[in-house]
Amino acid sequence: MVGCTTYSSDANLTDDDFRQVSRVIYEHCGINLHDGKKELVRARLAKRMRVTKRRSISDYLSYALRDHSGKEFSLLVDAISTNLTSFFREQKHFDFLCDEFLPSLITKKRASGDKVVRAWSAGCSSGEEPYSLAITLLSELKNAPEFQVKILATDISTTVLDRARTGIYPEKRVAPVPAELKHRYLIREKSDGEKMFRVAKILRECIYFGQLNLMQEWPIKVPLDFIFCRNVMIYFDKPTQERLVNRYYDILQPGGVLFTGHSESLTGIKHRFRYVQPTIYAKV
């Protein structure tokens, strides 16, 4: 047919292709793509190849690197990144905040005159984690209205950040939220007949969503009270994990806490944190 071009994309991922993709991703954002990720990389890059009409993975990678706007490379990273999250995931972390950390933090802040609780959700994905933090903090501080809550929520993926900013979730996604808190902080809506929930304005006002590569400079000028970096470090090798953990230490207040994912441990990493319990570490 005259005037039409047919693209036959070859999504075959050679060892050389995989090494090149792995090197570029590692250098850019520290994600360590071991051999077990090869099929995932092939499948996800195949989708980008179809969209951009590239004939091979090497052709697509060259195209992404030549895009001076950085948009296609960002979409490449989005494709490689796995974003799995839920409201109140790993409940024991929220229990620790309510039962142990926040009561002592509030006492200390009242004594110092600091009336802001500052937290960071590093690797916030589609927003369930920072919204869960906002719900927790606002609920625990309801009898301390003089306090402000400020949560920085960042991710390397612009795609999931766009979803997070909308703050709209289907009913099954908000199922872990206790009924009382759901009634207080989530607004029921309908979209194409499906039950949806929109997060309340009071939650949105607590959170700033921003795109951030953890390997680059951080826009944080004031020490934080605690950091959630959960199921993020599993994508990094030990040297990268060590650098990241020690940077977290430096930006926490004395007594501040780092929460990691259930499959993550600081064992084998040189750091200055005090072990509190599995996946919870405090700045000395």
pLDDT of residue 3: 41
Looking at 17, 78, 155, 225, which residue is catalytic?
A: 155
Closest among 269, 243, 277 to 95, alpha carbons compared = 277
List residues bridging with 188 in a β-sheet: 197
pLDDT of residue 9: 52
Amino acid at 227: I
> For the CA atoms of the chain, what is the radius of gyration?
21
Element (H, E) at 252: strand 252-260
101-to-230, 246, 248, 259 alpha-carbon distances in Å: 18, 21, 18, 12
Q: Is 17 left (phi over 0), alpha (psi -120 to 50) or beta?
A: alpha
pLDDT of residue 263: 83
Stated pTM of the model: 0.84
Looking at 44, 48, 54, 230, which residue is catalytic?
A: 44
Please state, as a whole number, how many other Cβ atoms lie within 10 Å of the Cβ of residue 200.
17
Is 44 designated active site?
yes
pLDDT of residue 4: 42
Q: How many residues does the chain have?
A: 284
Instruction: Determine contact, residues 246/215, Cβ cutoff 8 Å.
Output: no
Token code pair at residue 100: 């142990």
Token code pair at residue 245: 């953990």
- Delineate the domains of the chain, giving CATH numbers in brackets: 15-80 (1.10.155.10), 91-282 (3.40.50.150)
Closest among 158, 273, 251, 167 to 260, alpha carbons compared = 273
Sign of the CA dihedral 19, 22, 27, 30?
A: negative
Sign of the CA dihedral 142, 109, 105, 262?
A: positive
* Blockwise average pLDDT, block size 10, the chain, 284 residues: 43 82 84 80 86 87 84 82 82 96 95 96 95 97 92 91 94 93 92 88 96 92 96 89 97 98 90 96 96
Task: Indicate the SS3 state at residue 105.
Answer: helix
pLDDT of residue 45: 87
Count CA atoms within 13 Å of residue 114 on its CB side: 16
Token code pair at residue 278: 């599995």
Is 165 designated active site?
no
pLDDT of residue 83: 64
87-to-162, 198, 243 alpha-carbon distances in Å: 17, 13, 29
Token code pair at residue 106: 């509030």
pLDDT of residue 148: 96
102-to-2, 248, 283 alpha-carbon distances in Å: 69, 19, 15
Token code pair at residue 70: 């950085």
pLDDT of residue 191: 74
* 97/247 Cα distance (integer angstroms): 22
Instruction: Determine contact, residues 226/258, Cβ cutoff 8 Å.
Output: yes
Token code pair at residue 170: 């289907």
